[in-house]
């Protein structure tokens, strides 16, 4: 239980829920105007702002022309100076804390500033994301118990007075004193352990008698927690099946980091009955959106929490120089539903017009709700087909549902048959299915159904199949444990944890081929 009286916690939570609902009835554009004005006022006192002519009177039209688009890596020089102790570089004052990006694309996490204003953003946005769930369900009791965060180590790496860690390490820094005492779990000593079996055993042991109301983590980390919890609590006479058997008041699972897709059923089984899934869309650059309705209805963009959002039509990114695309971005006021955009943020960490590397699509604009569709550099586009992670996931789920197969994991890559006069080939699917199905799956059967499913719903795919640039897909069914072995051998470092479901190169595919003992991509024909 929490240290504060339960009735007082519920009273305060109910008040904040009502206040948030009133704010959400306001215009998203008003929140964005406030965020933009605050950022421009702050940049009047920074070296970056002076270099780009930013100040309280800067209009958005001027901002678009004066500040080019950048990736997180493009801020490296400024960030290194901040880490060395320089002040007023990207943000007023000195920054002592830094947060690593996930490093999903190249496996190299990059440090970004976690200024006091950025930590305040994390705190406010995360708190409102949880209030959205409480408001949706009418359950302020969520705040009367512990919130168990499962993820990377919260330990910080120190160098020259600067401290760096993954986003998991920023959560304790951002919490208020009350939240840390009354809500946060596990104990700090356990939270500082690296991700792995030892940490999960420690959580299962130390937190077993706590009143846990919420768990937060990726599907894989929560599966590991469920396994450790079953092992710790099960006896010859009693077999613990899920987390709710240990924490009977567990009501919510906060998940982030990937498209839930193929992991949804396993996650629900590990959680137990009547545990609601609540999605958060976040990264090192900020907390962008949170679920405020039914699953599948899109995530509510958090427009009044200090981030200023811009959106670049994803098609503009293909083979283009990023520095030339600044004027092609649109603000939230001008986005259209059902158009795929690259997400761009300006943040109270001092990042201006930062391309975070994600693509999104709005399902509604008033209010602003979106879905994550994939990564800008991790789409299938070798044959100009522009197929996203969300689309390949949806296709596989549809095919497996029809045939009562259960996917465990998958990856899709291009398989080239020739490169000139133009690239030609197919999609190569690497799929691991759960054993014990009634209908025996085969590669050719899966390939035919996946081809049909994508052709029904993806116009670019249909066009490339029709003109012969894209051949029928190839499916490799792999043995159980293949993807776990890939994670062991090639997985990203702790805290990064986002597996690429599709890539336009063969990096992951050829690594899987080595594990599964398939041949790697042979040399393609030159004519």
Final residue belonging to a domain, choices 336, 353, 375? 375
Say whether pLDDT at 106 is over 60.
yes
Is 523 within the bounds of a domain? no
Q: How far apart are CA 79 and CA 91, in angstroms?
A: 10
Domain shared by 211 and 324, yes or no: yes
Tokens standing for 483?
């993807």
pLDDT band at 1 (very low <50, low <70, confident <90, very high): very low
Q: Give the DSSP per-residue string, 281-297.
A: EEETTEEEEEE-SSTTS
pLDDT band at 13 (very low <50, low <70, confident <90, very high): low
Is 1 within the bounds of a domain? no
Domain shared by 150 and 219, yes or no: yes
pLDDT band at 498 (very low <50, low <70, confident <90, very high): low
Q: Mean pLDDT, to the nearest integer, of 228-254?
A: 88
pLDDT band at 495 (very low <50, low <70, confident <90, very high): very low
Is 522 within the bounds of a domain? no
Tokens standing for 198?
């030892």
pLDDT score of 257: 63
Q: Mean pLDDT, to the nearest integer, of 415-444?
A: 88
Q: What is the pLDDT of residues 214-236, one digit of tens each?
A: 999 888 888 889 999 998 987 76
Final residue belonging to a domain, choices 375, 400, 428? 375
Say whether pLDDT at 343 is over 50.
yes
Domain shared by 143 and 245, yes or no: yes
Q: How far apart are CA 453 and CA 473, in angstroms?
A: 12
Domain shared by 371 and 499, yes or no: no
Q: Which domain holds residue 448?
A: 389-516
pLDDT score of 264: 85
Domain shared by 52 and 139, yes or no: yes
pLDDT band at 496 (very low <50, low <70, confident <90, very high): very low
Domain shared by 409 and 361, yes or no: no
pLDDT band at 374 (very low <50, low <70, confident <90, very high): confident
pLDDT score of 516: 86
pTM of model > 0.85: yes
Say whether pLDDT at 2 is over 80.
no
Is 527 within the bounds of a domain? no
Number of neighbours of residue 457 by Cβ within 10 angstroms: 13
Is 154 within the bounds of a domain? yes
**Total structural domains within the chain:** 2
Q: How far apart are CA 51 and CA 110, in angstroms?
A: 23
Q: What is the pLDDT of residues 28-69, one digit of tens each?
A: 889 999 999 999 999 999 999 999 999 999 999 999 999 999
Q: What is the pLDDT of residues 505-523, one digit of tens each?
A: 999 999 999 998 765 555 4
Say whether pLDDT at 290 is over 90.
yes
Domain shared by 158 and 212, yes or no: yes
**Is 54:67 a contact under the CB 8 Å cutoff?**
yes
- Counting beta carbons within 10 angstroms of the beta carbon of residue 412, is it exposed (0 to 12), middle (13 to 18) or buried (19 or more)? buried
The distance of Cα 102 from the centroid of its chain, to the nearest Å, equals 9
- Kindly report the CA angle at 171 between 165 and 173, in degrees rounded to 5? 80
Domain shared by 292 and 225, yes or no: yes
pLDDT score of 81: 97
Q: Where is 98: in which H helix or E strand?
A: strand 97-100
pLDDT score of 377: 82
DSSP 330: E
Sign of the C-alpha dihedral computed for residues 297, 303, 305 and 308 taken in this order: positive
HEC string for 172-225: HHHCCHHHHHHCEECCHHHHCCCCCHHHHHHHHHHCCCCCEEEEEECHHHHHHH
pLDDT score of 499: 77
Number of neighbours of residue 159 by Cβ within 10 angstroms: 11
Q: Compute and round to an integer the Cα radius of gyration of the chain.
A: 24
Domain shared by 394 and 351, yes or no: no
Q: How far apart are CA 385 and CA 383, in angstroms?
A: 5
Number of neighbours of residue 380 by Cβ within 10 angstroms: 26
For the chain, helix (H) and strand (E) counts, in that order, are 17, 19
Say whether pLDDT at 402 is over 90.
yes
CATH for 399? 3.30.300
Is 524 within the bounds of a domain? no
Is 70 within the bounds of a domain? yes
Is 382 within the bounds of a domain? no
CATH for 160? 3.40.50
Phi (first) and psi of residue 173, to 5 degrees: -65, -35
pLDDT score of 96: 97
**Is 133:252 a contact under the CB 8 Å cutoff?**
yes
**Is 190:202 a contact under the CB 8 Å cutoff?**
yes
Domain shared by 150 and 239, yes or no: yes
pLDDT score of 11: 52
Domain shared by 331 and 468, yes or no: no
Q: Mean pLDDT, to the nearest integer, of 111-134?
A: 93
Final residue belonging to a domain, choices 375, 407, 439? 375
SS3 category, 255: strand
Domain shared by 247 and 318, yes or no: yes
Q: What is the mean pLDDT of the chain?
A: 88
Q: What is the pLDDT of residues 180-205, one digit of tens each?
A: 888 999 999 999 999 888 999 999 99
Tokens standing for 204?
């299962």
The distance of Cα 307 from the centroid of its chain, to the nearest Å, equals 17
Q: Is 274 left (phi over 0), alpha (psi -120 to 50) or beta?
A: left
Q: Mean pLDDT, to the nearest integer, of 99-104?
A: 81
pLDDT score of 25: 60
């Amino acid at each position: 239980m929490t240290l504060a009286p339960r009735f007082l916690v519920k009273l305060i939570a109910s008040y904040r829920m009502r206040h948030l609902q009133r704010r959400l009835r306001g215009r998203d554009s008003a929140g964005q105007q406030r965020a933009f004005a605050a950022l421009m006022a702050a940049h009047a006192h920074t070296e970056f702002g002076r270099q780009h002519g930013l100040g309280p009177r800067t209009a958005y039209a001027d901002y678009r022309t004066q500040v080019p688009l950048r990736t997180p890596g493009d801020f490296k020089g400024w960030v290194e100076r901040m880490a060395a102790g320089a002040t007023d570089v990207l943000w007023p004052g000195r920054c002592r804390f830094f947060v690593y990006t996930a490093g999903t694309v190249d496996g190299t996490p990059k440090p970004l500033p976690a200024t006091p204003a950025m930590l305040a953003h994390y705190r406010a946005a995360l708190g409102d994301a949880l209030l959205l769930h409480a408001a949706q369900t009418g359950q302020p009791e969520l705040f009367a118990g512990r919130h168990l965060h499962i993820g990377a180590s919260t330990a910080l790496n120190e160098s020259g007075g600067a401290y760096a860690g993954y986003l998991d390490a920023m959560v304790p820094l951002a919490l208020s004193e009350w939240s840390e005492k009354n809500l946060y779990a596990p104990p700090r000593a356990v939270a500082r352990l690296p991700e792995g079996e030892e940490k999960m055993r420690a959580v299962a042991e130390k937190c077993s008698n706590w009143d846990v109301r919420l768990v937060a983590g990726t599907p894989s980390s929560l599966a590991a927690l469920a396994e450790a919890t079953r092992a710790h609590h099960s006896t010859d006479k009693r077999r613990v099946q899920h987390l709710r058997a240990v924490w009977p008041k567990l009501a919510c699972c906060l998940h982030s980091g990937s498209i839930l897709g193929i992991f949804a059923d396993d996650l629900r089984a590990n959680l137990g009955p009547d545990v609601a899934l609540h999605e958060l869309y976040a990264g090192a650059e900020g907390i962008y959106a949170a679920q405020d309705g039914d699953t599948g209805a899109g995530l509510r963009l958090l427009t009044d929490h200090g981030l200023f959002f811009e959106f670049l039509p994803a098609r503009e990114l293909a083979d283009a120089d990023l520095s030339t695309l600044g004027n092609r971005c649109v603000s939230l006021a001008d986005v259209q539903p059902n158009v795929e955009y690259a997400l761009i943020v300006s943040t109270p960490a001092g990042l201006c017009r930062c391309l975070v590397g994600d693509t999104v699509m709005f399902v509604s604009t008033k209010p602003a709700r979106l879905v994550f569709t994939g990564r800008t550099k991790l789409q299938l586009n070798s044959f100009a087909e522009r197929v996203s992670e969300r689309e390949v996931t949806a296709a596989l789920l549809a095919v497996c549902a029809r045939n009562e197969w259960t996917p465990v994991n998958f990856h899709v890559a291009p398989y080239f048959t020739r490169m000139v006069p133009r690239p030609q080939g197919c999609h190569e699917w690497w799929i691991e299915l759960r054993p014990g199905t009634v209908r025996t799956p085969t590669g050719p059967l899966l390939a035919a159904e996946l081809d049909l499913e994508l052709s029904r719903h993806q116009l670019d795919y249909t066009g490339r199949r029709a003109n012969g640039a894209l051949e029928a897909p190839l499916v490799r069914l792999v043995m159980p444990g293949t993807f776990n072995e890939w994670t062991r051998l090639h997985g990203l470092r702790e805290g990064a944890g986002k597996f690429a479901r599709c890539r336009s190169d063969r990096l992951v595919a050829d690594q899987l081929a080595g594990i599964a003992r398939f041949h790697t991509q042979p040399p393609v024909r030159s004519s």
